[in-house]
Amino acid sequence: EWQAVENGTGNTQYSGQVTLGSTQSGSTYNLTDAGRGSHKTYNLNRGTSGTGTLFSGPDDVWGNGQASNLETAGADAAYGAGLTWDYYKNVHGRSGIRGDGVGAYSRVHYGNNYINAFWQDSCFCMTYGDGAGNAKPLTSIDVAAHEMTHGVTAATAKLVYSGESGGLNEATSDIFAAAVEFHGNNAQDKGDYLVGEKIDINGDGTPLRYMDKPSKDGASKDAWYSGIGGIDVHYSSGPANHWFYLLSEGSGAKTVNDVNYDSPTSDGLPVTGIGREKAALIWYKALTTKFNSTTNYAAARTGTLAVATELYGATSAEVKSVTNAWAGINVGA
Ligand code: ASN
Ligand code: ZN
């Protein structure tokens, strides 16, 4: 049956009114993004298995900006998936999570009062809870990009999700969550080095994680130490997130998109930022050409230095900053 490729309107909770890819089949519109690997967005309607139902309806308008409208979470999830697709495609030339042009799918309204989101390789899909109490639906851009990036890591370096490689796996998701958010440049959710700042998961307005100084969350580490492989991967990610911030923006105080940061170094020496585009390119190339399943912090340093040397030359300012950013989280010489 013939399906028309459409551009619908999403009225999201976090990103305002946006354009969403959709398809039209007869008089029915579907939240299937034909321009991005036919990524589909489903409503689990509080179920916890299967796909539920594909978002569809008589018009090409999705959600009303309020969480009480069941389409709204679908609009946010579809938008986040679209921005993530566009980031990998336009910045890194990667067509989809596996690089094969095939879209994943998203499921929203998972279970009851579920305060998390997750990626599964088994279904090649992402799932979002609605939150509970103060915690809002998990469907923000950075959470979408974080989860989808778990798929990219699984398709490339395959970093084992425990020990130091687990921390690097988590950091990879936070790094590209920030990169996607900056690249999307949505007026209501501009880029930042915070993770989950829209969700209010702590109920006091603070984000889930901080990349400039990860220890601000009370559990993540700012720098590598010999026992870091023994802590939760969402905390052992801290040093690598911090490395990405230092390499992007440099050490010390800085304001970006109206958010104030103050990034220290573990050695007390300054780091000069090279910009987040170069920093993300170095991490992406290291992830896809240097890292493997057991890469640890020391090996990540070696891999990123090799990439930076290939890209910019051994005596470049970029290699110097990569070196200094690793030293600033207690990795290396
Ligand atoms: N939201 C968590 C994460 O992506 C869930 C998980 O898979 N560990 O890190
Ligand atoms: Zn994660």
pLDDT for the residue numbered 6: 85
| pLDDT score recorded for residue 3 | 81
- Closest ligand to the CA of 118: 1
Domain count, the chain: 2
In a domain, 333, yes or no: no
Atom of ligand 1 lying closest to residue 161 CA: 8
Q: Which of 147, 170, 197, 318 is catalytic?
A: 147
pLDDT value, residue 106: 98
d(CA 64, CA 35): 24
User: CA separation (Å) from 305 to 107, 222, 298, 323?
Assistant: 38, 20, 11, 7
Q: Which domain holds residue 128?
A: 4-155
125-129/105-110 β-pairing: parallel
**What's the pLDDT at 327?**
98
Q: How far is 268 from 72, CA to CA, in rounded Å?
A: 46
Nearest in space to 149 (alpha carbons), one of 137, 135, 159, 163: 159
pLDDT tens digit sequence for 52-73: 999 999 999 999 999 999 999 9
**What CATH number should be reported for the domain holding residue 10?**
3.10.170.10
ipTM for the predicted complex comes to 0.95
Pick from 94, 120, 155: which residue ends a domain?
A: 155
Model pLDDT, residue 333: 62
Q: Are residues 57 and 77 in the same domain?
A: yes
How far, in Å, from the CA of 117 to the mean position of ligand 1?
6
Q: How far is the CA of 11 from the centre of ligand 2 (A)?
A: 26
Residue 148's pLDDT is what? Answer: 98
Q: Is 234 designated active site?
A: yes
Q: Which of 108, 130, 155 corresponds to the end of one domain?
A: 155
Q: What is the DSSP letter of 186?
A: B
Q: Which of 225, 226, 221, 199 is nearest to 210 (CA)?
A: 221
- Which of helix, strand or coil describes residue 288? helix
Same domain, residue pair 51 and 136? yes
Catalytic pick from 92, 234, 249, 318? 234
Q: Which residues of the chain have pLDDT under 50?
A: none
